[in-house]
Amino acid sequence: MSQASHYLLRNHDIENIDEMAVYRAHGGYEALKKALNQYEPDALVELVKKSGLRGRGGAGFPTGVKWGFLPKDGRPRYLVVNSDEAEPGTFKDRELIEKNPHQLIEGMIISSFAIGANQAYIYCRGEFLFGYETLVRAVREAYEAGFIGKNILGSQFSLDLFVYRGAGAYICGEESALLESLEGRRGNPRLKPPFPAVAGLYGMPTIVNNVETISNLPPIVTRGAEWYASMGTEKSAGLKIMSVSGAVNRPGNYEIPLATPLRSLIDDYAQGMKPGYRIKCIIPGGSSVPLLMPDQLDTPLDYESIVKAGSMLGSGGCIVLDDTVCIVKASHRLIKFYREESCGKCTPCREGTYWMADVLERMEEGLGDANDLSLLMDVADNISGKCFCPLGDASIGFLVSAIKHFRDEFEAHVTEHRCPLGAKVYDTANN
């Protein structure tokens, strides 16, 4: 891959940018100074709105609009950064916190100033021990440098920033479950409304943003909203980090302007498929989204175009499945993930994922029967739209599209009583 410069993944260009000195030598915390000196909080919110920045955690909700939902009633407000990145196929936040933590911290300080929060939290995924330790160190450095604490850079603005490590639960990436966990309770999603912007952490107005979203703040403040909006499309502006995995030559994180074609991501950025492998299908936005077929490779990677193509941009976890992958095995592996990660609160998700995993396992083992496919579709239908939080719907996104596109392969498992592909690829130790 040959991109000259990065805005978010500057660690690709600059060695040791996770260290305060290196980060500052390359313009670090200048955006913060600019924000504190040249902007009123409301103007910053306006700036973010104008930039067209949308939530990069998966839902793609306009960030500035979300900030505008905070009620102006004098209650304390909180900023919470969601670093519970656990979506299979997505590993962008991990790189951002491990390799470029100061960018996130700077973004958080700017965002807190913009929304009027004096306390900010990073909720770090439990398994990200290294990222957590890096963040803790970086936060300490920022405190020592006076970027966090009382009267930052001589302004009236004070901020405390806490890093909290979760206990390892995918569901805690759902913002209300995250808040429950952050408050010390079982990570189960909360009833909405009220939304976190009205009653979030400790019942106070809270903004929950993704790591990547907040990491966009320093470049936007430095270069302006117009610069950011100039990339991508009108509705999907700016930069997006895509995590590419699968049988490509260079899997990894790539920072792309939105609306870059999927084909370009795979062929140019990830340098194409490994020799001997052909694309079977692509999960463009993390394991929760429906798959795209090879004939859809020209789809531009922006929120609207992907939806039009029948999938979602999601968290940007682009999993390339090659032609050695058994679609039943892959579905089983993904459903098993959701079965393990279902919090157990609501019935369809808790029981449905368990059931589907069992049926898929049976099919893959050659023990399926003729009714299993319709049973799977019906169970998926009983989950669809009936769960408490999006996890249930997420669990069937891939499966339903897989059955739609690869019904033959599913049926072959049943009629031949075995996996026609032998399914070697996804035989992980975790089976």
Judged by the rule CB under 8 A, the positions of this chain that interact with another protein are 169, 186, 188, 191, 339-348, 350-355, 358-359, 362, 371, 375, 379, 381-383, 385-388
Give me the least distance between CB of 141 and another protein, in Å please.
36
Give me the least distance between CB of 384 and another protein, in Å please.
8
- Rg for the chain, CA atoms, rounded: 22
Helix extents (H) in 69-216:
92-99, 101-115, 129-144, 175-182, 211-215
Give me the least distance between CB of 214 and another protein, in Å please.
28
Q: Residue 249 or 347: which CB sits closer to another protein?
A: 347
Say which DSSP state 297 is in: T
| SS3 labels along 178-230 | HHHHHCCCCCCCCCCCCCCCCCCHHHCCEEEEEHHHHHCHHHHHHHCHHHHHC
Residues whose CB is less than 8 angstroms from the CB of residue 74 and which lie 6 or more positions away in sequence, other chains included:
none
CA dihedral 310, 316, 317, 323 (to 10 degrees): 40
The span from the CA of 126 to the CA of 133, in Å, is 11
Q: Are strands 119-124 and 160-165 parallel, antiparallel or unpaired?
A: parallel
Q: Residue 164 or 354: which CB sits closer to another protein?
A: 354
Q: Residue 63 or 176: which CB sits closer to another protein?
A: 176
Q: Residue 99 or 350: which CB sits closer to another protein?
A: 350
Give me the least distance between CB of 106 and another protein, in Å please.
35
Give me the least distance between CB of 427 and another protein, in Å please.
21
H or E, element range at 68: helix 63-68
Give me the least distance between CB of 171 and another protein, in Å please.
8
Say which DSSP state 384 is in: T
Count other Cβ atoms within 10 Å, centred on residue 244: 24
Q: How many DSSP H helices and E strands does the chain contain?
A: 18, 10
H or E, element range at 331: helix 327-341
Give me the least distance between CB of 355 and another protein, in Å please.
6
Cβ–Cβ < 8 Å for 340, 385 = no
Q: Residue 264 or 382: which CB sits closer to another protein?
A: 382
Give me the least distance between CB of 403 and another protein, in Å please.
17
Angstrom distances, CA of residue 88 to CA of 5, 222, 315: 28, 33, 10
Give me the least distance between CB of 357 and another protein, in Å please.
9
Q: Residue 10 or 350: which CB sits closer to another protein?
A: 350
Cβ–Cβ < 8 Å for 323, 278 = yes
Give me the least distance between CB of 124 and another protein, in Å please.
19
Q: Residue 158 or 371: which CB sits closer to another protein?
A: 371
Give the chain's length: 431
Q: Residue 193 or 276: which CB sits closer to another protein?
A: 193
The span from the CA of 382 to the CA of 353, in Å, is 11
H or E, element range at 78: strand 78-83
Count other Cβ atoms within 10 Å, centred on residue 144: 11
Q: Residue 192 or 424: which CB sits closer to another protein?
A: 192
Q: Residue 194 or 422: which CB sits closer to another protein?
A: 194
Q: Residue 5 or 374: which CB sits closer to another protein?
A: 374
Give me the least distance between CB of 381 and another protein, in Å please.
8
The span from the CA of 290 to the CA of 300, in Å, is 16
